[in-house]
Structure 1
Amino acid sequence: MIDKLEYFIALARERHFARAAEELGISQPTLSAAVRQLEDQLGVVLVNRGSRFQGLTPEGQRVLEWARRIVGDARTMREEMRAARKGLSGHIRLAAIPTTLAMVPRITAPFQEKHPDVTFSVLSTTSLKILSLLENLEIDAGLTYLENEPLGRVTSVPLHVERYHLITARHGPLADRESVTWREVADLSLCLLTSDMQNRRIINSHFAEAGVVVKPTLESNSMIVLFSHVRTGRWCSIMPENVALSFGFHDQISIVSIVDPSPHHIVGLVATHREPFTPLVSALLHEARILAEQAQF
């Protein structure tokens, strides 16, 4: 039944039989048959069907909650048995909001040094997508904001306080200032993250607090794209200081504090709350707590 539950989770996520089958690496008839068999075993209809997928029934929504729990527990059991035989090994899937990407090596590097048989993949995405990926068992943990928008039922470890700065070319607008106000920044030609990013929503709220509305002339979901445009001298951006410094062009940019208001926001590691955690996630949370102690959280 575990395989059928995994198929059902994929179908609920993709909301399309063909796409779900492609993701699973099976044929569409095999997926359809597996879902039918699961319905027969449980004695309920899980999927509203027509000429195409039309959503889950109320019973299907409830089974989806159980499926995530059961599949998650089964994966935890397999990882525990593998760790008992071979020590900690396997693959950790991380997702991170763009402003936390510079922090990722602070966790992955010491972790991999202690556990060389563990590999990582890192995805850059939005805070809302991170929560969705966690819920659907597509990632093991995420790096995101901890206090601005609802996180749901997760275990979190605070790692860093994010403060915002104007990032401008060395001879760009306001580059010689020690601090600037949000009102002053609003008048610049800005390149910012796209509005689906929580960082952008936070920045918009601070402009609103200052009584202004910002209209950037360039948007991107990539911090590298923003930074490369700042270096041309035609644009300025708003970034946490550690992000700006991570690109390594200190002599070409100026980092100016933004005040009035002077907000800060906590970012950290999140993982779906469960007992027990998989050995990999448990070890990752342990590494994050070591980093949190060093940051004096």
Structure 2
Amino acid sequence: MLFRQLEYLVALARERHFARAAQACHVSQPALSEAVRKLEEELDVPLVRRGRTYEGLTPEGERIVVWAQRILADRDALTSEVGHLRTGLSGRMRIGSVPTASGAVALLTAPFCLAHPLVTVEVRGDLQSQDVLRQLRDFEIDAGITYLHEGLGERFRTVPLYEERYVLLTGAADTPGHRATATWAEAARLPLCLLTEEMQGRRILDELFTEAGVRPSPRVETDSVAVLFAHVRTGRWAGVVPHTWLHVFGVPQGMRAVPLVEPARSVPMGLVTIAREPGSVTARALREIASRTDVAAALERLPVD
């Protein structure tokens, strides 16, 4: 009963609405409300601020949710560990990725699924970098692929995967001078389709444009690399994309992709998991796969033309 109560509380904190939380837990709203009320009685603290509608958690409720997430994660980890010992790794693994890296996820999931055929994989490929870390902290995902930086601290374990670098994607006739490379200053003068400003990938691009002494004025912005490709395909725009996405699309007919230089820079990308032990057995298995998979070498073979 306690686990069910904690699940309902975590759902309520996530959905911020009694009806939506009940729907997510596949129970009626009165059943969820009553379970949360009984948990308040058992703990002897108010957890939910109630009015005519849901008004949020109390300070005590916010702290209890953190414990609830940990307890439920440990329960799931224990269940997975026991299942692993008995029949091999099984269950469901959840991976979150920033959009610029989602094209490289298959380079890990393919060998993982081959090694662990009883595990199903859910990939959330459109998360912002801060969302990847938040969902890891809240045990909503088991692993993430995102930008590596010093600020990750001791709460996360990382496995470096590759260096993200950037290419200018244009129509076949539009690359400046038809050269094998293009500069960031040249790219800024083209009608651009770029990622949206709140995305970490776009902030990195803006830093590189600034270093080149220019400021781009994109005509179209999107949170999807696939949408960016689609716009360039029309012949009206150019785009700056991570080279990893050529692994997914190649260089589409009628388009060119050339490395961007002046400056030529790359950004480290990696697998990130919670450092807390014992943690998710599926995350541990994915780390092992990532440690012996040369993702960078696979991406070096991508076409640039």
Normalising by structure 1, we get a TM-score of 0.92
**In terms of mean alpha carbon deviation, does 245-254 or 2-11 score higher?**
245-254
Query: How far 1:217 sits from its partner (Å)?
Result: 1.1
Amino acid of the structure 2 residue aligned with 1:15: R
> Could you list the runs of 5+ residues in structure 2 that have no partner in the other structure?
299-305
2:213 to 211, 217, 220: 211
Quote the residue 1:242 is aligned against.
Answer: 244
Q: Is residue 131 of structure 1 aligned with residue 149 of structure 2?
A: no
Q: Residue 132 and residue 294 in structure 1: after superposition, are their counterparts in 2 closer, same or farther (change >3 A)? A: closer
Quote the residue 1:194 is aligned against.
Answer: 196
Query: How far 1:147 sits from its partner (Å)?
Result: 1.7
Distance (Å, rounded) in 2 between the aligned partners of 1:7 and 1:167: 47
RMSD: 2.1
Q: Summarize deviations over 1:51-80 as a string: whole Å, max 9, x none.
A: 122222221121122111111111111111
Distance (Å, rounded) in 1 between the aligned partners of 2:35 and 2:275: 29
Q: Is residue 89 of structure 1 aligned with residue 90 of structure 2?
A: yes
Quote the residue 1:26 is aligned against.
Answer: 27
**In terms of mean alpha carbon deviation, does 183-192 or 241-250 score higher?**
241-250
1:164 to 166, 171, 175: 166
Distance (Å, rounded) in 1 between the aligned partners of 2:270 and 2:82: 29
Quote the residue 1:111 is aligned against.
Answer: 112
Q: Residue 293 and residue 241 in structure 1: after superposition, are their counterparts in 2 closer, same or farther (change >3 A)? A: closer
Quote the residue 2:283 is aligned against.
Answer: 281
Amino acid of the structure 1 residue aligned with 2:197: S
Q: Is residue 263 of structure 1 aligned with residue 265 of structure 2?
A: yes
Q: Residue 71 and residue 294 in structure 1: after superposition, are their counterparts in 2 closer, same or farther (change >3 A)? A: same
Amino acid of the structure 2 residue aligned with 1:118: V
Query: How far 1:251 sits from its partner (Å)?
Result: 4.8
Quote the residue 2:301 is aligned against.
Answer: none
Query: How far 1:40 sits from its partner (Å)?
Result: 1.0
Amino acid of the structure 1 residue aligned with 2:157: T
Query: How far 1:33 sits from its partner (Å)?
Result: 1.0
Distance (Å, rounded) in 2 between the aligned partners of 1:248 and 1:122: 21
Query: How far 1:262 sits from its partner (Å)?
Result: 2.1
Distance (Å, rounded) in 2 between the aligned partners of 1:14 and 1:142: 22
Quote the residue 1:55 is aligned against.
Answer: 56
Query: How far 1:150 sits from its partner (Å)?
Result: 5.1
8 Å contact from structure 1 (residues 227, 244) kept in 2: no
Query: How far 1:294 sits from its partner (Å)?
Result: 7.0
Amino acid of the structure 2 residue aligned with 1:4: Q
8 Å contact from structure 2 (residues 251, 257) kept in 1: no
Distance (Å, rounded) in 1 between the aligned partners of 2:47 and 2:89: 37
Query: How far 1:29 sits from its partner (Å)?
Result: 1.1
Query: How far 1:131 sits from its partner (Å)?
Result: 2.1
Query: How far 1:164 sits from its partner (Å)?
Result: 1.3
Q: Summarize deviations over 1:74-111 as a string: whole Å, max 9, x none.
A: 11111111112211111111121121122111111111
> Could you list the runs of 5+ residues in structure 1 that have no partner in the other structure?
none
Query: How far 1:163 sits from its partner (Å)?
Result: 0.9
Distance (Å, rounded) in 2 between the aligned partners of 1:172 and 1:274: 50
Secondary structure at the counterpart of residue 45 of structure 1 = coil
**In terms of mean alpha carbon deviation, does 266-275 or 204-213 score higher?**
204-213
Quote the residue 1:35 is aligned against.
Answer: 36
Secondary structure at the counterpart of residue 167 of structure 1 = strand
Distance (Å, rounded) in 2 between the aligned partners of 1:164 and 1:10: 39
Amino acid of the structure 2 residue aligned with 1:134: L
Q: Residue 236 and residue 151 in structure 1: after superposition, are their counterparts in 2 closer, same or farther (change >3 A)? A: farther
Distance (Å, rounded) in 2 between the aligned partners of 1:253 and 1:86: 49
Quote the residue 1:231 is aligned against.
Answer: 233
8 Å contact from structure 2 (residues 70, 139) kept in 1: no
Quote the residue 1:98 is aligned against.
Answer: 99
Normalising by structure 2, we get a TM-score of 0.90
Q: Residue 295 and residue 156 in structure 1: after superposition, are their counterparts in 2 closer, same or farther (change >3 A)? A: farther
Query: How far 1:151 sits from its partner (Å)?
Result: 7.2
Q: Percent identical across equivalent pairs?
A: 45
Distance (Å, rounded) in 2 between the aligned partners of 1:294 and 1:207: 25
Amino acid of the structure 2 residue aligned with 1:86: T
